[in-house]
Structures are given as structure tokens and as C-alpha cells.
Amino acid sequence: MDRLFFPRCAKVGSESLMEFMEHLQDINNFKINVNGVDRQTRRSLNARGQEELAAYIYNMDEGSVYIQHTNWIDFNEFNLPKPIFINLVRDPVERMISWYYYIRNSYRNALFYRKNPLAPIQPTAWFKKSFNDCVRSGDKECQYIPLTVTDAVPNFKRQSIFFCGNEQDCLPFNSPLAVQMAKRRVETEFAVVGTWEETNITLAVLEHYIPRYFAHKEGDPFDPFSFAVYQESLMNRNRNNRKPHVDADVRAMVRRNFTHEYDFYYFCKQRLYMQYIALKRTELERLNLYP
């Protein structure tokens, strides 16, 4: 099925990839859709919600891209052909630090209270509290307890759930089972899972594994947009300039509760490297330069 589905993780730089694709949609003749069935972000979808979203994507025009903060969906379960899946990952602790300061962003909160004028306003101390203090004080907002299903404060700490899917087994945080399920889905369902920590590698793999959407110019196939050109051409709409220093011991404290999430993260990066090495080898063989 000539449709691309980007069930984007939170706080992995997905806004940048969206802007990159907006830059390419006229060049490669595709359309981006971010409206969908239900724009409310949910931790998981029930069976009906999954079926509605799968049908919505299936009924889009050929050459469409659908982007939403949601989890992987098994299209086979609804007797529908699969789209092309892509996603991004990020260092798990860096994601949490980014999320912590993102929700304290004054511009974001101004927009929220404009849309929700009756919502309770957070006290000044909440906005000023550092991630260091939040973790060291044992604040519920900064507790990342393995195998928990119910969260005291929503924080998108489950990166693997975007790949694991909507099953109950995907819900426990830092669950070895959920992570193994997520790994299997990455390996069998996702064409590319990149990371902006390896920008040029990610862009090269996207371009060569999914040229229908990501090929951007003629010339050397291993000369994708350099990071400098990419940064100049595109802006990250969710960039947070308020991100104070986080102490090493605090990072270590948090990291201890993300063992399996790190296992998943490193798995995705290794797969990305292997895809990159494979396409380089293919090109060298084409040029008769590989022994």
C-alpha cells in the first residue's frame, strides 16, 4: 500500500522530521495528513479506535503520509494492507528531561490556558522547579517506577509503547516483555527507525530505503542533506530554549529505572547502523569497489 504511517513518539524530534517531509512533499508529489480521526493523544487505542484509524489511513489517497502521536497498529487484524511504517527514537533519559521542561514552556502553557480557560493554573513553584530538585525530592512527577501501569503524572516515559502497540502487555513501564514485543515489531513492521542523534545516517537510510518519499536530489547517493543544511532549511517548532543543566548523579538515578527502555533504544540504533552499512556495501559493490 503506497501510504506512509509515522506513529511518532513524543519528544524524539518528530516535528523536525515532519518539517523535512513538508519540504519534500511537492518535490516527491505526496500529501501529509495530520488531522485524522481523533486528534486527542491517547496512551493506547481500543479495538474500535484502532480499526477506525486503520480504515482512515487505508482510505487516504495513494502517496499520502499520515502522522500522529499514536502506537503501532496491526493492519492485518482488520484485513487491510499495511502502510510503510517509520519512526524515531531518542535517548530515554534525554526524552524525560526534554518533556519535563517542555510542559513548563511559557508559550505552550499560554496556548493551553487560552484553549482551556477554566483549567487550574500551576503555581509559580511548579514552573521554577528544576529537574534536579524534582528527582532528588522524590516528586511523583519525576518517579519512574518499573512495571507501573497507572501513572501519577502523565509523562510519555514509555518510548517502546509506540512500537509495541495497544495491547495490555505493552502498558507496564520498563517491561522486558513489552520491550521484546516492540523489538519484534521494529524488525518486522518498520521500514526505518531513525534518530536525530545520527542525523546524516538517518536521512541517508530514509532516502535509500523509502525513496518514494525521501529521495531529494540527484548526485552522489551517499551525500544526503548535511546536518548544517538541514538545520538551515528547517526549524524545530518544539525546540525548548529553557533546558538547564542536569547533574550527572540525577541522570544516573533516573537511568537505573530505564534499563529495558535503553535496551530497546540501543536495539533500534544498532538496526539503523546495520541498514546504513548494508546500503553502503551495496553501492560499493555496484561500483566494483567492494572486495
54-82 confidence digits (pLDDT tens):
999 999 999 999 999 999 999 999 999 99
8 Å CB contact between 153 and 141:
yes
173: domain CATH number is: 3.40.50.300
d(Cα 229, Cα 99) in Å, to the nearest integer?
27
Residue, of 285 and 25, whose pLDDT is higher: 25
pLDDT at 238 over 70: no
pLDDT band at residue 224 under the 50/70/90 scheme: very low
The total number of structural domains in the chain stands at: 1
User: DSSP characters for 198-259?
Assistant: GHHHHHHHHHHH-HHHH---SS-TT----HHHHHHH---TT--S------HHHHHHHHTT-H
pLDDT band at residue 223 under the 50/70/90 scheme: very low
d(Cα 66, Cα 60) in Å, to the nearest integer?
9
Mean pLDDT for the stretch of residues 144-165: 94
Asked, for residue 267, whether it belongs to a domain, the answer is yes
Asked, for residue 237, whether it belongs to a domain, the answer is yes
Asked, for residue 241, whether it belongs to a domain, the answer is yes
Please give the mean pLDDT across all residues of the chain.
87
Give the predicted TM-score (pTM) of the model. Answer: 0.88
Asked, for residue 44, whether it belongs to a domain, the answer is yes
- What is the pLDDT at residue 222? 39
Asked, for residue 139, whether it belongs to a domain, the answer is no
Judge whether 23 counts as a catalytic residue: no
Asked, for residue 172, whether it belongs to a domain, the answer is yes
pLDDT at 114 over 70: yes
pLDDT at 226 over 90: no
Mean pLDDT for the stretch of residues 227-246: 57
Asked, for residue 48, whether it belongs to a domain, the answer is yes
Q: What range defines the domain where residue 48 resides?
A: 3-90+160-246+262-286
Asked, for residue 134, whether it belongs to a domain, the answer is no
Q: Which residue among the candidates 69, 216, 245, 260 is catalytic per the annotation?
A: 69
